[in-house]
C-alpha cells in the first residue's frame, strides 16, 4: 500500500468541501501526517521535519532540520560545517539548517500512519472550527431542531454542531420530539473529550429577555429596558421594566397593542407560563409594592441590614400576595433581592393598637389567611336560623310556665 500523491491532492479538495473546512486547514493536516510518515520510513522519530505538498502537481517535499557541528556524531540530527557550507553560505557551528529531500512514495506502514494522523487532525480541525463559530454566539438565541430525546437530556441540532439541553434547562411541562423546530439560548461552549459540547437552555431568564428583545424594538434604541427578571420556567415569570424617555409607558410598550408583544413571547414559552410585567422603581419600598402586584399593599417595613422586608396587606389580599404554593411572594423576593414576610393587616378589625402583629412564618400564613375569624355569636353551618333568631325570643325554661302562658292567652281571648 503506497500513497498516490496526486489522488491525495484531489482528496484534500474534496474533504475540504464535504467537511466545510478551509482548504488550508485540510492541507496542513495532511502535511503533518506526511511528516509523521516520513519519520517512520526515512528518518528518526524525534527529528524535526517539515513537509510541503503542491495540490496542483501532487509533489511532496520534505525538509529535515539539522544542527551544524564540527564533528558529526548523529547524522539524523547533525551536519558538518563543510557540508552545510555547500548548502548555505557562511554556515557556522551552532546554526540550524534545513535539508531538502524529495519524497516519491511511502511504505505500507507509513501510509497507514498518515491515514490515522489525517483523520485525527481533521477531527481536531472540525472542533476548532465549531468552537470559533459558536463562541461568538454565546448569550444569544438561535434556531435549532430537536435531534433526539434521551431520558432527561434533549439532543439539539444546531446546524454545524450538536448541543444538549439538560432537564434543569428545560421548560417545566414542555414535551420535545425529534424534528421539532425550537428556539434555544446558547449558554456555553465547553471543550470535551469528544469535541466541543454546546449547552443550550429554554428555562433560564435570559431566554425570556432575548424573546422580548426580538418583539420590542424600543429596547435597541434604549427607550425602554428590562431591569430584572425572576422566572420559574413553565409556571410564572415577573419582569421589571423601566423607561428612559419621559411619557413612554414601559409596561404598555412591552405588552403591545392588544397584548401582541407579550402574547408572542407566551406562545414561544408555552401558554401555561404566566408573565407579569411591572414598573421598576429605584425606591425599594415602591419596588416591593410593584413586585407583589396584583396585591394591594398597605405597608412595607424594610430592614436594609439583613435585606428583609415585612409587608402588611389587607386580610382579603393575603392569599393573593402569597400566591399558589408561595409562588407570588417567592418570585417577588427573587426580583427585588429582599426576603419578604407577608402579614395580614388586622388593625381595622380588632382596633387593638397601631403596632403590626408579630411576623408569622411564611408557610403558616396561608392557613391563617384562609380560615375565617370566629366568635361565640357567629352562625354555624348546622343552625343559621337559630343563631340569628334566638337572641330575639324569650327563653322558656319550664313546661309549667308554657302552660300558664297559654291559659292566660285563652282567658284573654274569651273575655
Q: Answer whether residue 201 shows pLDDT above 50.
A: yes
| Rounded mean pLDDT, 385-405 | 48
Which of 101-105, 207-211, 373-377 has maximum average pLDDT? 207-211
Length of the chain: 415
pLDDT for 410: 66
Residue range 8-63, pLDDT digits in tens: 777 777 777 776 777 787 788 778 888 888 887 777 777 888 888 877 777 888 88
Greater pLDDT, 203 or 73? 203
pLDDT for 4: 66
Distance, in Å, from the CA atom of 340 to the CA atom of 360, rounded to the nearest integer, reads 11
pLDDT for 90: 80
Distance, in Å, from the CA atom of 214 to the CA atom of 152, rounded to the nearest integer, reads 29
| Rounded mean pLDDT, 201-218 | 95
Residue range 60-99, pLDDT digits in tens: 888 888 888 888 888 778 888 888 888 877 888 888 888 8
- Whether the CB-CB separation of 103 and 57 falls below 8 Å is answered with no
Burial classification of residue 392, based on how many CB atoms lie within 10 Å of its CB (0-12 exposed, 13-18 middle, 19 or more buried): exposed
Q: Answer whether residue 215 shows pLDDT above 70.
A: yes
Query: What fold, for 5-132?
Result: N Utilization Substance Protein A; Chain:P; domain 4 (3.30.1480)
Alpha helices, DSSP H only, in 154-279? Answer: 205-215, 218-221, 250-255, 260-269
DSSP string, 106-157: --HHHHHHHHHHHHHHHHHHHHHHHHHHHHTTTTSEEEEEEEEEETTEEEEE
The residues that bridge with 145 in the sheet, in sequence order, are 157, 181
| Rounded mean pLDDT, 164-169 | 93
Domain boundaries for CATH 3.30.1480.10 within the chain: 5-132
pLDDT for 60: 83
For the domain spanning 137-203, the CATH number is 2.40.50.140
Distance, in Å, from the CA atom of 100 to the CA atom of 294, rounded to the nearest integer, reads 82
Distance, in Å, from the CA atom of 184 to the CA atom of 174, rounded to the nearest integer, reads 13
Q: Answer whether residue 293 shows pLDDT above 50.
A: yes
β-strand pairing of 162-165 with 195-201: parallel
Least confident piece of the model among 152-161, 325-334, 344-353? 344-353
Q: Which pTM was predicted?
A: 0.61
Residue range 257-289, pLDDT digits in tens: 999 999 999 999 998 999 999 999 999 999 999
Q: Answer whether residue 225 shows pLDDT above 50.
A: yes
- Whether the CB-CB separation of 362 and 322 falls below 8 Å is answered with yes
**Looking at the domain covering 281-377, what would its CATH class be?**
alpha beta
Estimate the share of the chain in helix, then strand, then coil, as percent rounded to the nearest 5: 40, 25, 35
Give the number of other CB atoms < 10 A from CB of residue 134.
Answer: 21
Domain boundaries for CATH 2.40.50.140 within the chain: 137-203
pLDDT for 126: 75
Domain boundaries for CATH 3.30.300.20 within the chain: 281-377
Residue range 100-114, pLDDT digits in tens: 887 777 777 767 777
Amino acid at each position: 500500500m503506497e500513497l498516490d500523491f496526486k489522488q491525495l491532492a484531489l482528496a484534500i479538495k474534496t474533504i475540504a468541501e464535504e467537511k466545510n473546512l478551509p482548504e488550508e486547514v485540510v492541507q496542513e493536516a495532511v502535511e503533518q501526517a506526511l511528516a509523521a510518515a516520513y519519520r517512520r520510513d526515512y528518518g528518526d522519530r524525534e527529528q524535526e521535519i517539515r513537509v510541503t505538498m503542491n495540490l496542483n502537481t501532487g509533489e511532496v517535499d520534505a525538509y529535515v532540520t539539522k544542527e551544524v557541528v564540527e564533528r558529526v556524531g548523529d547524522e539524523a540530527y547533525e551536519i558538518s560545517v563543510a557540508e552545510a557550507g555547500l548548502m548555505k553560505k557562511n554556515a557556522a557551528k551552532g546554526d540550524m539548517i534545513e535539508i531538502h529531500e524529495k519524497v516519491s512514495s511511502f511504505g505500507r506502514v507509513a501510509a497507514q500512519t498518515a491515514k490515522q494522523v489525517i483523520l485525527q487532525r481533521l477531527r481536531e480541525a472540525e472542533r476548532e472550527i465549531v468552537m470559533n463559530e459558536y463562541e461568538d454566539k454565546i448569550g444569544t438565541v438561535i434556531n435549532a431542531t430537536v435531534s433526539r430525546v434521551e431520558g432527561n437530556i434533549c439532543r439539539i441540532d444546531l446546524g454545524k454542531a450538536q448541543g444538549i439541553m439538560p432537564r434543569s434547562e428545560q421548560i417545566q411541562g414542555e414535551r420535545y420530539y425529534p424534528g421539532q423546530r425550537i428556539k434555544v439560548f446558547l449558554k456555553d461552549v465547553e471543550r470535551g473529550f469528544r469535541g466541543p459540547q454546546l449547552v443550550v437552555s429554554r428555562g433560564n431568564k435570559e431566554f425570556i429577555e432575548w424573546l422580548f428583545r426580538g418583539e420590542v424594538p424600543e429596547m435597541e434604541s434604549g427607550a425602554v429596558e428590562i431591569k430584572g427578571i425572576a422566572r420559574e420556567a413553565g409556571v410564572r415569570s415577573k419582569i421589571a421594566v423601566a423607561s428612559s424617555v419621559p411619557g413612554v409607558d414601559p409596561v404598555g410598550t412591552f405588552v403591545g397593542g392588544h397584548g401582541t408583544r407579550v402574547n408572542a413571547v407566551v406562545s414561544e414559552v408555552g401558554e401555561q407560563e404566566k408573565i407579569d410585567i411591572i414598573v421598576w422603581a429605584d425606591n425599594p419600598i415602591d419596588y416591593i409594592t410593584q413586585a407583589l402586584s396584583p396585591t394591594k399593599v398597605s405597608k412595607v417595613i424594610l430592614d436594609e441590614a439583613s435585606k428583609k422586608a415585612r409587608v402588611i396587606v389587607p386580610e382579603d389580599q393575603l392569599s393573593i400576595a402569597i400566591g399558589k404554593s408561595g409562588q407570588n411572594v417567592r418570585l417577588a423576593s427573587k426580583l427585588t433581592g429582599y426576603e419578604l414576610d407577608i402579614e395580614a393587616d388586622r388593625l381595622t378589625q380588632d382596633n387593638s393598637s397601631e403596632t403590626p402583629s408579630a411576623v408569622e412564618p411564611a408557610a403558616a400564613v396561608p392557613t391563617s389567611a384562609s380560615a375565617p375569624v370566629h366568635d361565640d355569636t357567629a352562625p354555624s353551618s348546622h343552625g343559621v336560623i337559630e343563631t340569628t333568631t334566638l337572641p330575639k325570643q324569650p327563653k322558656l325554661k319550664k313546661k309549667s310556665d308554657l302552660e300558664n302562658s297559654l291559659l292566660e292567652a285563652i282567658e284573654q281571648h274569651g273575655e
